[in-house]
Structure 1
Amino acid sequence: RTEISALKELFDNYNEGERDLSRYNIHAICGVLKLWLRELPESLMTFDLYDTIVRLERDNPDDKLDQYAAMIPKIGCNRPTLDYLMRFLSKLCENSTVNKMSASNASIVFGPTLIRARVETIETTLNSPIVNSAVQVLIE
């Protein structure tokens, strides 16, 4: 946990120039990214979209991809960050035979931080597999 704390401090001071991360464990770097996403006041896929996303994954309509595409403009200023992260995760998953990080695995890791309800309840916890499925679609 201390390595993540040290990285978080570096991350929080990003405007002080480029940092050498080569001495840090890759899992700690991923951990600080997840922590940063979790600490955002609102998830990248905004709270207002949570119910729509869950319903879309449950109903699984033929035009699901089109509906996701229509949602993306609704996330406003989060769009560039989400776009960059999805492209990064997609590239990461291209090497899943080596790194064991398939789109399914990446969605389990990042799903709960990218799509959150405004208020966490037992129901939203039970929706975790649905949320992960939505993130998998975005990664792929």
Structure 2
Amino acid sequence: LHDASPHYTPERKAIHPVVRVHPITGRKSLFVNEHFTRRIVELSHEESELLLGYLTRWVSKPRFTVRYRWSEGTIAMWDNRCTQHHVLDDFEGERVIQRVTVMGDQPQAAAPPRYEPFGGRFSAASWRDKPLKDFLRED
């Protein structure tokens, strides 16, 4: 369950595959993000938390990262379908950042889902399950 509410609007929710296939290269990539991915719907809350924690730590390992060194006139482009990024503020001076977003494809799973969304008991006291319950009720 991906939720745009931390940065954008709370009504932007979607269920995406955790492992997706790039539509051009055919390569598999993880489609999880510590800022937007809220839950793996096929798992209980506890299982989802453990696996998402592991996956977000995995993708941030130094061997998977690139540090871009900016200089005047540089341009950086990346494919959001298979890249995670964030800004570091350890530089002097000012930068102008122009963001361009190209409308693209819908994430395609590497394999069909093997499980239905977690149908465990929801509790009004379980604030962690409320977004999933609300999302599943919207269908």
Q: Report the structure, 1 or 2, having the larger strand content.
A: 2
Regarding TM over 0.5, the answer is no
Q: What range describes the TM-score normalised by the shorter chain of this pair?
A: under 0.3
Q: Report the structure, 1 or 2, having the larger helix content.
A: 1
Query: Which structure has the bigger radius of gyration?
Result: 2
